């Protein structure tokens, strides 16, 4: 559970790697395999909606006598040889797998298998074949403990008649699953996206109001929940095993961020600051090198901030030619970082492409969001993330990203603000805090913005940030908190009381509430960072990145989330992350070896759009139609009164409720599309004539 344990894994290995990114789907059980077209026809139906995840190839496999069926869509990154076709059998024929992702050190794993005399007669060079060989030799869990990568998979064990689902340590790749139906007709569905599960006729479409309440609070629905009752997300770093005879999925963790944090706290990095910088640069350089392996065009997103600039700098340091980099800009200065990205690209000598996006181009993305994100998701940076993915896909098939740096190295302003705020208010009487909150709330955010702008020159850098009025209002709203955890939960919430908005919406426990892990060895800021690694990072940031990129068939890779880097970061003392008021100090020192500090040192900006102004302007009619009181009443999910009140206050300029309203609008837009899709599907699908023999023989390349 520490950086040292992964030292052997850091080797790259020799040979030719074969990687693919893709989508998977399948089902197990059900009572009418021989009569209703179950088998390949249903697999084709389930994979059609996720074809963008793998447009280059498709494969299907069924064993009707075991009532198991799996399908795969493939996006080829290196080649499209038959040896890499999925679903794939292990050499011993025990396991059959559908795999989405990459095992970056799989050539090293092949070397270890050869050293132990356990390597099969290799049919090709794919990491999927390597994974199966590991399963044959060591078992599933032991193989994953050796692997460095991002992935989601489903593997059928023909010996035990059990299905195992697996997901990578940090949750880069998605995986949904759950039983639908009753009795002998119940079917276990699984897939990369909900749209694959929805395509199966057994899917029940029962919306979970508790999950909807979580979406209003967080902008996203945290694992293990999904918007549908009975359908779950597999947590990061976990395995789930299920069979027709043992229907309750058995969830086990093969890697734990909490345990890694505990180990790091108990065995902290003991070297000097300079040695820590050397160690981090070495680990990141290896991760970047591994993730640059591809025979297709490869590039990187570049915002000009610390995280993406570090990734690009380490790429360019190891690349024989200019790295292709991509950024988008906005004509509104408050939302534009393109000039900073351009300056970093010029210094590093990358082949840089930028696109200035007009409001019309950004707004054109909004109708596609419900299908793209597949369940209600309301982080508004989903819009620019999709735009930069679309830009990159015009030039490359793989793009590296700087996501994860904030969570690992203390980059978010809210960490310091929460700790500072709690240290100042904890001893104050509750009545005094509530009085102060009312005072701040009585000043409109735009007035606070002007006051902060006037005082900016007098403030230290860590107190200068964008949208100060909105952040001060949010801070005032949590002055009544009784603990630092409660205060933090309030700061990361959109609606403070979703249960007052969602009819019959009771929030289930999450990592930020009833099921919060206790990590007493960590201070307040460190606990917030770990909680973000468990929740915000996999369920917001990585969902946003995966859906935005895979929606245009672009593979993304995240070097910061290679687990040797994560484990090292969790062992680094906090004073090397937050030093003299400067966030991400350690990471900045790595970057400053490649890029002048003057190009980087500026207030942190989010990847945002002028959503508030759009809702008062070009999006007003669209929003009004979705938020109309009769519509909300008829649909029965929301109490119209608090929503209408916020909408009217937003339109008047009295308050900026853009983020709260966006959570509701994204659900409403998603709901509208689901109903439209269900109506269309009733007329579009006709069950095929059963041909189970053809289905079971479709694994011709196995």
Residue 325, beta-bridge partner list:
300, 352
Q: CB within 8 A of 161, min separation 6: which ones?
A: 66, 243, 244, 245
Q: Report the C-alpha gap between 408 and 405 in whole angstroms.
A: 5
Task: Looking at 139-272, list the stretches that DSSP marks H as alpha helix, in order from N- to C-terminal side.
Answer: 140-146, 194-198, 209-218, 257-266
Kindly tell me the number of DSSP H helices and DSSP E strands found in the chain: 30, 17
- The answer to whether residues 583 and 577 touch, using CB atoms and an 8 Å cutoff, is yes
Angle at 540 between CA 544 and CA 576, to 5 degrees: 110
Neighbours of 62 (CB within 10 A): 28
22 is catalytic: yes
- H-run or E-run covering 556: strand 555-557
Q: Is the peptide bond before 224 cis (omega within 30 degrees of 0)?
A: yes
Phi-psi region of 90 (alpha: psi -120 to 50; beta: other; left: phi over 0): beta
C-alpha dist (Å) from residue 79 to 18, 19, 22, 124, 320? 7, 8, 13, 11, 22
Q: Is 589 helix (H, G, I), strand (E, B) or coil?
A: helix
- The answer to whether residues 516 and 485 touch, using CB atoms and an 8 Å cutoff, is yes
Task: Looking at 403-483, list the stretches that DSSP marks H as alpha helix, in order from N- to C-terminal side.
Answer: 405-409, 413-425, 430-441, 445-455, 468-477
Report the candidate in 107, 118, 136, 142 with the shortest Cα–Cα distance to residue 19: 107
- The answer to whether residues 36 and 687 touch, using CB atoms and an 8 Å cutoff, is yes
Q: Report the C-alpha gap between 265 and 250 in whole angstroms.
A: 30
Strands 351-357 and 324-330: parallel
Q: Dihedral of CA 533/536/537/543: which sign?
A: positive
Q: What are phi and psi of 400, to 5 degrees?
A: -85, 150
Q: What are phi and psi of 154, to 5 degrees?
A: -130, 130
Hey, what long-range contacts does 598-602 have (CB within 8 A, 24 or more apart)?
Answer: 599/304, 599/309, 599/340, 599/343, 599/344, 599/347, 600/304, 600/305, 600/306, 600/309, 600/344, 601/461, 602/340
Strands 20-29 and 68-76: antiparallel
Q: Report the C-alpha gap between 211 and 208 in whole angstroms.
A: 5
- The answer to whether residues 492 and 537 touch, using CB atoms and an 8 Å cutoff, is no
Burial 133-148 (b: 16+ CB within 10 A, else e): bbbbbbebeebbebbb
Q: Which sequence positions are flagged as catalytic? A: 22
């Amino acid at each position: 559970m520490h950086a040292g344990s992964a030292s052997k894994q850091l080797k790259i290995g020799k040979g030719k790697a074969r990687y693919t990114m893709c989508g998977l789907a399948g089902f197990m059980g059900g009572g009418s395999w021989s009569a209703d077209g179950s088998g390949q026809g249903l697999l084709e139906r389930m994979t059609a909606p996720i074809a963008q995840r793998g447009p280059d190839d498709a494969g299907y496999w069924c064993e009707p006598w075991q009532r198991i069926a799996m399908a795969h869509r493939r996006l080829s990154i290196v080649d499209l040889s038959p040896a890499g076709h999925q679903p794939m059998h292990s050499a011993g024929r025990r396991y059959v797998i559908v795999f989405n992702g990459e095992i970056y050190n799989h050539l090293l794993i092949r070397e270890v298998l050869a050293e132990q005399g356990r390597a099969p007669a290799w049919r090709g060079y794919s990491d999927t074949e390597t994974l199966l060989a590991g399963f044959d030799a060591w078992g599933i869990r032991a193989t994953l403990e050796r692997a460095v990568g991002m992935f989601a998979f489903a593997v059928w064990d023909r010996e035990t008649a059990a299905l195992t689902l697996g997901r990578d340590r940090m949750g880069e790749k998605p995986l949904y699953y759950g039983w639908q139906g009753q009795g002998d007709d119940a079917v276990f569905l699984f897939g990369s996206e909900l749209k694959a599960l929805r395509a199966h006729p057994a899917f029940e479409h029962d919306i979970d109001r508790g999950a909807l309440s979580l979406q209003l609070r967080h902008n996203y629905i945290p694992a293990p929940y999904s918007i549908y009752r009975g359908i779950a997300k597999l947590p990061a770093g976990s395995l789930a095993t299920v069979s027709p005879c043992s229907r309750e999925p058995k969830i086990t963790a093969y890697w734990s961020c909490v345990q890694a944090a505990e180990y790091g706290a108990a065995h902290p990095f003991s070297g000097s600051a300079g040695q820590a910088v050397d160690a981090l640069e070495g680990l990141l350089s290896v991760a970047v090198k591994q993730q640059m392996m591809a025979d297709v065009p490869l590039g990187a997103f570049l915002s000009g901030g610390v995280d993406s600039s570090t990734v690009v700098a380490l790429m360019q340091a190891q690349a024989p030619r200019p790295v292709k980099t991509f950024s988008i800009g906005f004509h509104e200065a408050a939302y534009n970082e393109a000039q900073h990205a351009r300056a970093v690209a010029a210094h590093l000598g990358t082949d840089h492409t930028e696109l200035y996006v007009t409001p019309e181009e950004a707004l054109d993305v909004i109708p596609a969001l419900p299908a793209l994100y597949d369940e209600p998701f309301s982080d508004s940076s989903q819009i620019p993330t999709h735009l930069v993915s679309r830009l990159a896909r015009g030039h490359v098939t793989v793009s590296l990203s700087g996501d994860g740096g904030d969570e690992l190295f203390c980059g978010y302003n809210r960490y310091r603000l929460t700790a500072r705020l709690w240290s100042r208010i904890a001893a104050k009487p509750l009545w005094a805090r509530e009085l102060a909150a009312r005072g701040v709330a009585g000043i409109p955010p735009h007035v606070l913005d002007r006051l902060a702008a006037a005082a900016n020159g007098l403030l230290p850098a860590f107190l200068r940030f964008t949208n100060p009025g909105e952040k001060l209002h949010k801070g005032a709203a949590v002055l009544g908190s009784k603990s630092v955890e409660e205060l933090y939960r309030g700061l990361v919430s959109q609606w403070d009381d979703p249960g007052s908005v969602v009819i019959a919406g009771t929030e289930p426990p999450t990592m930020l509430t009833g099921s919060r892990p206790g990590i007493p060895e960590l201070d307040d800021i460190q606990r917030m960072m770990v909680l973000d690694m468990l929740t915000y990072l996999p369920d917001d940031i990585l969902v946003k990145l995966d859906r935005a990129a895979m929606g245009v068939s672009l593979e993304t890779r995240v070097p910061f989330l290679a687990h040797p880097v994560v484990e090292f970061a969790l062992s680094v003392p906090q004073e090397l992350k937050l030093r003299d008021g400067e966030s991400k100090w350690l990471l900045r020192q790595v970057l400053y070896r490649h890029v002048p500090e003057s190009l980087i040192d500026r207030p942190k900006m989010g990847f945002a759009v002028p959503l508030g102004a759009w809702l008062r302007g070009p999006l007003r009619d669209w929003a009004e139609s979705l938020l109309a009181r009769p519509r909300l009443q008829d649909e029965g999910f929301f109490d119209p009164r608090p929503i209408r009140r916020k909408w009217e206050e937003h339109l008047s300029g009295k308050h900026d409720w853009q983020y709260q309203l966006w959570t509701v609008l994204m659900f409403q837009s998603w709901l509208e599309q689901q109903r439209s899709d269900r109506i269309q599907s009733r007329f579009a699908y006709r069950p095929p004539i059963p041909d189970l023999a053809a289905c079971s023989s479709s694994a011709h390349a196995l």
